[in-house]
Amino acid sequence: MSDVRIEVCCALPVIRTADYNGAAPPSPCSGMLRVGYPVHGAPSMRTRLPYISISRIIVHDIPRRLKASTGDIPIYSEVESPLDGPTGPQLRAFFRDRIVECANSSGALDVVFDANASSVVPGLVTDWLQGPSADLVAMSKQIGEHLHRSQPGASPPGLVTVIDCPLSADPAIAVLKLERDEGVRLQQLKVDGQPTFSIERIPDLMLTQRTKVFKLAIFTRGSDGVVRGLVVDHQRGYFEKAEVATYFLRDFLGCALQQEPSVVTKHFSDAAQEYFNDQIPDPELRSQLMLHLVSEMLRATPTLSPRKFAEDYIPLSNRQAFLDHLKTSSVSDTPFPKDISQMKRHLSRVAYEFASGITILGSQEVLEERMKLSMTDNGSTKVEIEDQLKQIRTRA
């Protein structure tokens, strides 16, 4: 059977992902519940990261936890690590840079405290943020003890570092688990008769990109009184699909992701499709953006960054308008855990709906290969499809 070329000229199409039966998902304007994150109007922690300062640092040496009682025990500091020596400015800069770097990475996730968690961390952090006390050491020791009890035996030893790190005028506290390697010279000493750790910089080792931050959690309390957090986990197992180890997020920190990943993923997809169909008049560009969206959803990555999607695929002239549209749709431009479980059926096919009632439905790959869109002089969309005609039939 020879190929058949079909040309159709119609008004600009609406392009959506479609279910197996051809039904398109409801429009984002159809009254669906908007569940966004962060809370609309709330100050973003990420925008204030450049104003972070390192006030106090406490380090505890946490060994690998073994089932046998003969395992090493944690070594706790009783006072803060000295920062007034000649290496003080370098240490402050090192921890500040690593916190900002990790918190701005694509793996940084917004979290909230889980009211049902049994962890001691939510209570300790919340109480401290309400009125930072001078006794940061006692709180940090409880955090170190809880991490040692929470982490599995496979988790390597590390240096738990608790940092008083104000964000501009707002109090903030960071908890880091650092790799202990030859780049860290950790010396236990006494200050006013109390044991602590002196962190000494070894040139080209300690303060370089080679020093690993295994895990990071940073919490702040804004002027609205709400405690917000960011969590990064660079120590997940090879086969771990989650972006943050369960024991670290729930058992240790007592946190939950700020929004259900499947809801946020679908919300982003709906908002993006709404923008493409309402604000992109060029049918070819609209089609390309839709196919990029489907590809991004199906790509085997654990997180999705709306801002990176915009930088990779949205033309510069439309990029800020796209991000503004996400914001007005209560979709954050920060990375979130991707979960397409609510969208798998819709991602299998793409539907092109025309004003005349014509609908073209097909898989992303086939449409990209067989169909060509262009705009005519009178503003209609010209559709060219080259394929073998299989059959013609009536359909309900």
Q: What is the pLDDT of residue 180?
A: 66
Write out the two tokens for 78: 């009783």
- DSSP string for 257-296: ESS-HHHHHHHHHHHHHHHHHHH---HHHHHHHHHHHHHH
How far is 187 from 113, CA to CA, in rounded Å?
Answer: 34
Q: Which of 215, 232, 257 is the last residue of a domain?
A: 257
The values of phi and psi at residue 14, to 5°, are -95, 130
**Same domain as 367, residue 246:** no
Q: Which of 238, 257, 276 is the last residue of a domain?
A: 257
How far is 260 from 279, CA to CA, in rounded Å?
Answer: 28
- DSSP string for 161-212: EEEE--BTTB-EEEEEEE--STTEEEEEEEETTEEEEEEEE-TTTTTSTTS-
Write out the two tokens for 13: 């199409």
Q: What is the pLDDT of residue 143?
A: 93
**Same domain as 31, residue 135:** no
In a domain, 199, yes or no: yes
Domain count within the chain:
2
**Same domain as 289, residue 339:** yes
How far is 158 from 62, CA to CA, in rounded Å?
Answer: 6
Q: Residue 174 contacts by C-beta under 8 Å, 6 or more apart in sequence?
A: 99, 161, 162, 163, 165, 216, 217, 218, 219
**Same domain as 184, residue 53:** yes
3-state secondary structure of 2: coil
In a domain, 231, yes or no: yes
Q: Which of 203, 237, 257 is the last residue of a domain?
A: 257
At 121-131, the pLDDT tens digits run 999 999 999 87
In a domain, 368, yes or no: yes
Of 366, 369, 364, 370, residue with least CA distance to 294: 364
At 259-295, the pLDDT tens digits run 778 888 988 999 999 999 899 988 889 888 988 998 8
ω into residue 74 within 30 of 0, thus cis? no
Regions of the chain short of the pLDDT cut 70: 1-44, 66-71, 132-134, 180-193, 195-211, 235-244, 348, 394-396
- The angle, 0 to 180 degrees and rounded to 10, between the axes of the packed helices 316-328 and 261-279 is 130
**Same domain as 142, residue 68:** yes
**Same domain as 122, residue 136:** yes
In a domain, 396, yes or no: no
The values of phi and psi at residue 159, to 5°, are -100, 110
Q: What is the pLDDT of residue 257?
A: 80
Sheet arrangement for strand 381-388: 3-10, 381-388, 371-375
pTM: 0.59
Q: What is the pLDDT of residue 192?
A: 67
In a domain, 354, yes or no: yes
Query: Which domain range does residue 79 map to?
Result: 45-257
**Same domain as 80, residue 56:** yes
**Same domain as 234, residue 153:** yes
How far is 380 from 321, CA to CA, in rounded Å?
Answer: 24
In a domain, 316, yes or no: yes
**Same domain as 67, residue 111:** yes
In a domain, 239, yes or no: yes
Q: Residue 325 contacts by C-beta under 8 Å, 6 or more apart in sequence?
A: 271, 274, 275, 279
How far is 51 from 42, CA to CA, in rounded Å?
Answer: 17
**Same domain as 321, residue 228:** no
**Same domain as 159, residue 243:** yes
Q: What is the pLDDT of residue 295?
A: 87
In a domain, 197, yes or no: yes
**Same domain as 214, residue 176:** yes
Question: What letter represents residue 228's amino acid?
Answer: R
Q: Are 350 and 367 in contact (CB under 8 A)?
A: yes
